[in-house]
Structures are given as C-alpha cells and as structure tokens.
Amino acid sequence: MPRALDRIDFDLLALLQKDGRTSNKELAASVGLAPSTCLGRVRRLIDEGVIRGVHAEVSPDALGVGLEAMITVRLSTQTREAFATMTERLESLAEVVAFYDMSGADDFLIHVAVRDPDHLREVVTEGITCAAEVKHVETALIFAHKRNPMRLPY
C-alpha cells in the first residue's frame, strides 16, 4: 500500500504542478526543507509513481492544429475484447490527445487535435467510425479549453 502523503508532499506537488521547472533550491526554500531533503522527497514521489511526469504544454498553432474536438463513442457490445480493441485503435491514432473509458451511455470520450474540418472528418470516419465494434459516434467542436492541475485534497 502506498504511503500517505503529508503536508510537505502536497506543497511540493502544488508547486511542481504550477511550474514543473521550479528548481530544487526554490522548492526547498518554499516548503522549509534543506535542499538535500527536498530532493530526496521529490525523488521518492517520482519513484512511488505519485509524480508521473513533467510535460511541456505546446501551442496547438505551432503544431499546425487548427481544430480540436471531443468525440463520444458507443460500442455495439460491452465486452472486454471490444474495449481492448477500441483502446488499441485510439492509442494508434496520432490525432488523439487523450481518451477516457467511461461508464454511462457512452463508452469512450476522445479528445482529438487536427488540422482542419477535412482532417477531422478523416479521423472520425477512417479512424473511429469504421471500426466493427463502434455503434454510435458524436462529435463536438472545442472552441476553447484550459487545463487545470489535479486538485489537491487539502
């Protein structure tokens, strides 16, 4: 069982979520630890899988992305094999930013980033709708979005 996180761990996580490039010296000063102790804590959070990565958020325009959409997919059957096949398909599509395997009326919620409406149509029809296990697909355009870090429970 993973060890419980304490207030200092939560403070470190909040600081790193705000800016993953914060130096160890700055982290240590912010939480009141010696730099060596702080570094040990951050390494432990990484080793225990609490911190799963540090990422650069890149401008969609810089990558040629002119359109983003959310796609809901309902499978024709809710078997383990159908979910596994759909998961493999989504993991193979470069345009898929993220996807969620969900409960409820829809089985998957998929965030895609594409060049333009024609590219979106291609991804939906040739990448998703054509799959034998797919029963229903709906697409909604994203006008704007903002990512909020995982909220800490304190």
More confident residue, 2 or 125: 125
Sheet holding 67-75, edge to edge: 96-101, 108-114, 67-75, 134-142
Indicate whether 150 pLDDT > 80: no
Task: Write the pLDDT tens digit of every residue in 72-121.
Answer: 999 999 999 999 999 999 999 999 999 999 999 999 999 999 999 999 99
Can you say whether residue 130 is alpha, beta or left, with left for phi > 0 and alpha for psi between -120 and 50 degrees?
A: alpha
Domain 7-47 has CATH 1.10.10.10: yes
Q: With respect to CATH, is domain 61-142 assigned 3.30.70.920?
A: yes
pLDDT at 16 (0 to 100):
94
CA distances, 147 to each of 14, 18, 57 (Å) = 15, 11, 10
pLDDT computed for residue 116 by the predictor: 97
Token pair 């493999």 is found at: 88
Tens digit of pLDDT for each residue in 39-83?
999 999 999 999 999 888 889 999 999 999 999 999 999 999 999
> Which residues of the chain does CATH 3.30.70.920 include?
61-142
Please give the pLDDT value at position 57. Answer: 83
Structural tokens at position 69: 């959409």
The CA distance from 108 to 129, in Å, is 13
Across the chain, mean pLDDT equals 93
HEC letters along 45-96? HHHCCCCCCCCCCCCCHHHCCCEEEEEEEEECCCCHHHHHHHHHHHHHCCCE
The percent of residues in the chain predicted with pLDDT above 70, rounded, is 95
